[in-house]
Structure 1
Amino acid sequence: MTRDTTACRDTAKRMVAPGKGILAADESIGTMSSRLEKNGVEATEENRRAYRELLAATPDLSDGASGIIFCDETLNQSFADGTPFPKAVHALGILPGIKVDTGAKPCPGLPGEKVTEGLDGLADRLAEYAENGAAFAKWRAVFTITDQTPSRGAIRANTNALARYAAACQEAGLVPIVEPEVLMDGDHAIDRCAEVTAMVHAALREELALLNVDLAGIVLKPNMIIEGDDHEVHANAEQVAEATVTVLRDWPDELGGVTFLSGGQSPERATANLEAIARQDAPWPLTFSFGRALVDPALKAWHGEPDLVEAGQNALSDRVKANAAAVRGDLVTAE
């Protein structure tokens, strides 16, 4: 199979269209079930489906969201009216995407570190997802900062897997969202996050080049450069923005776009940091691909009550509008 670079490039441009971001609603069955239960909702297949429909069917969502990432379960489900999720989302003016990795697992030979799995059978799965209407895919690798980690082995194992996934996506005609996440877990300072993220990105660029991945047909989904959860000093939004874009400047100008993950930040802080980042001068589109920072308020407002679907959608809409305004430069305050 040959790569259709034109189609991937065109789709990538739609994914990072001005003033729009990507909604990450791709939690695994286990993670989604746990979040439902924490909000008083029984963790059933139907409730997971109903929650994802609540998100996708939010009125005017396409004004601020270019795409939605789903997990395999959701992509194979339907709206309550019987319309398959991919078809329903396309009709709403939103691109459907699919998470294709199978999770981060302990990495053999590297105690305490993980490697993301899911390459086995990936080409066949991608072909099926494309046939079912998916426009893009996502693969997440995770890196934990300690005094000794991430090791060179963990960086290489994960960036090679990301590159193999990206090449397979482009051969299937899907845009790969490439997500190398340096986690906020720990007490490291912002400078340490910058150092590690730069190392990960350098290795990733090398692996992508070795597999002839077209950078104009991918979307990078990195962490913001931010201190660890347990660090005593919190960087302000301007410091986060400057450090983040400084690390990203080593990416070529032809990169399709950058959609930041929220990484466990509060919704308000993630938006404030995004607004500051968007003010930075960069050669590629800078936008958001948030999960928890967008969907948690919706889940809390809905908590499984049919009469509160509108409340859940309003909560999601408020967060999407705030972040869309942030990347447009229209946000007066993120609070």
Structure 2
Amino acid sequence: MTRSSELSAVAATLVAGGKGILAADESIGTMNRRLENAGVAPTVEHRRTYRELLATTPGLADGVSGIILCDETFRQSTSDGETFPRSLSVRRILTGVKVDTGAKPLAGAPGETVTEGLDGLRERLAEYRELGAAFAKWRAVLVIGDGKPGFRARQANAHAMARYAALCQEAGIVPIVEPEVLMAGDHSAAACAAATAVTLRDFFAELEDAGVALDGIVLKPNMVVPGEDSGEVATPDQVASATVGTLRTVVPAKVAGVAFLSGGQPAAAASANLAAMQQLATPWPLTFSFGRALVDPALAAWRGDPEQVAAGQRALAHRVRCNSAALQGVYDEAVEDGRVPA
């Protein structure tokens, strides 16, 4: 099998029917804040234990094709002594790793950022591949309002993303491409659609210029939703229509698949929106790559208590079942409430 066909096969596996990607790649700082908010001491061991709770949830592979880890977790081991990549492989789950180093203020563009992490990336990717990574993730952050996202921010982030994606494919690693237009703000759904479209157009232009094979990437975009402070309410059908309509105009048909981020949406809302999208025709499979919308209930149930690990895993398993049901067209209130199995 050629390198190109290997990348295409892995990308296709990540978006296979009925499965999605679990994002458990919060930075140390972000994870510490979430642990503290749940009443858990923000220690190395608690971060490791929490990620092990997620990764070893029984039956997780039935609805999750891959898990994205941060560098710290990627290099740690589960309590049985196996590395996380090896432990996931045994469970038939692909291992991914976040490789960017975060969004930093962009010079000349007040209020906007550019994601960094290209320095030494070729060498880091080679090491990640050696240690078991099948895919990677890089997130760009774009904001709406007062002329934003501006041309300079879009171009800087698109160029960095394209360089990342090309380096991943050179290393035999599938790149997840995540240009997130944030929900934060009081903008309308129409403004989100416009910002998402122009952002994706710029990103795909850079990806193609960099020679990135589009059938060997997974796009991780935001859904088209109103700003969280807008007061505007969008039904799942409206979100689905706006999101799919926007993507159809700018995302090439060659892309292996689209795995949506949840972006801070309530867990049930993200599932309902995902379910509504399955009713619309697209040239690429639509799935999920949720973080908070999958793992927040698990963290709330666990709270650092060793006796509540099973409760945390049940909470995660339920959210995975809901989203898998959404992909299969059988998601409804009864599934969400746990009254019937997905």
Q: Shorter chain as normaliser: what TM range?
A: over 0.9
Output aligned runs, 1:224-243, within 5 Å.
Answer: 224-243=223-242
Report what 2:281 is aligned to.
281
Shift of 1:32: 0.4
Question: What residue identity is the alignment partner of 1:224?
Answer: M
Number of corresponding residues: 333
**2:103 touches 2:140 (CA, 8 Å); kept in 1?**
yes
Distance 1:165 1:214 in 2: 13
Shift of 1:252: 1.9
Shift of 1:205: 0.9
Output aligned runs, 1:155-174, within 5 Å.
Answer: 155-174=154-173
Report what 1:324 is aligned to.
324
Report what 1:177 is aligned to.
176
Report what 1:191 is aligned to.
190
Distance 2:106 2:82 in 1: 40
Shift of 1:283: 1.0
Report what 2:114 is aligned to.
115
Give structure 2 stretches of 5+ with no counterpart.
338-342
Distance 1:17 1:277 in 2: 16
Distance 2:4 2:108 in 1: 37
Q: Aligned to 2:136, what secondary structure does the other structure show?
A: strand
Question: What residue identity is the alignment partner of 1:95?
Answer: L
Shift of 1:113: 0.6
Shift of 1:247: 1.0
Report what 2:81 is aligned to.
82
Deviation string, structure 1 residues 213-234 (Cα, Å, up to 9, x no partner)? 0000000000000000001111
**1:4 maps to 2:16:** no
Report what 1:34 is aligned to.
33
Report what 2:144 is aligned to.
145
Shift of 1:147: 2.4
Question: What residue identity is the alignment partner of 2:191?
Answer: R
Distance 1:44 1:326 in 2: 35
Deviation string, structure 1 residues 98-157 (Cα, Å, up to 9, x no partner)? 000000000011111100000000000000000000000000000010022111000000
Shift of 1:7: 0.8
Report what 2:307 is aligned to.
307
Report what 1:70 is aligned to.
69
Question: What residue identity is the alignment partner of 1:65?
Answer: V
Q: Aligned to 1:289, what secondary structure does the other structure show?
A: strand
Distance 2:320 2:44 in 1: 26
- Counting aligned pairs with the same residue, the percent is 58
Distance 2:147 2:197 in 1: 16
Distance 1:50 1:16 in 2: 27
**1:46 maps to 2:48:** no
Shift of 1:254: 1.4
Report what 2:22 is aligned to.
23
Report what 2:131 is aligned to.
132
Deviation string, structure 1 residues 192-222 (Cα, Å, up to 9, x no partner)? 0000000001001100010010000000000
Question: What residue identity is the alignment partner of 1:292?
Answer: R
**2:272 touches 2:331 (CA, 8 Å); kept in 1?**
no
Question: What residue identity is the alignment partner of 1:100?
Answer: V
Q: CA RMSD in A?
A: 0.9
Report what 2:340 is aligned to.
none
Distance 1:258 1:196 in 2: 18
Output aligned runs, 1:211-290, within 5 Å.
Answer: 211-249=210-248, 250-290=250-290
TM-score with structure 2 length normalisation? 0.96
Question: What residue identity is the alignment partner of 2:154?
Answer: I
Question: What residue identity is the alignment partner of 2:61?
Answer: S
Question: What residue identity is the alignment partner of 1:291?
Answer: G
Question: What residue identity is the alignment partner of 1:172?
Answer: A
Distance 2:265 2:332 in 1: 20
Shift of 1:332: 2.4
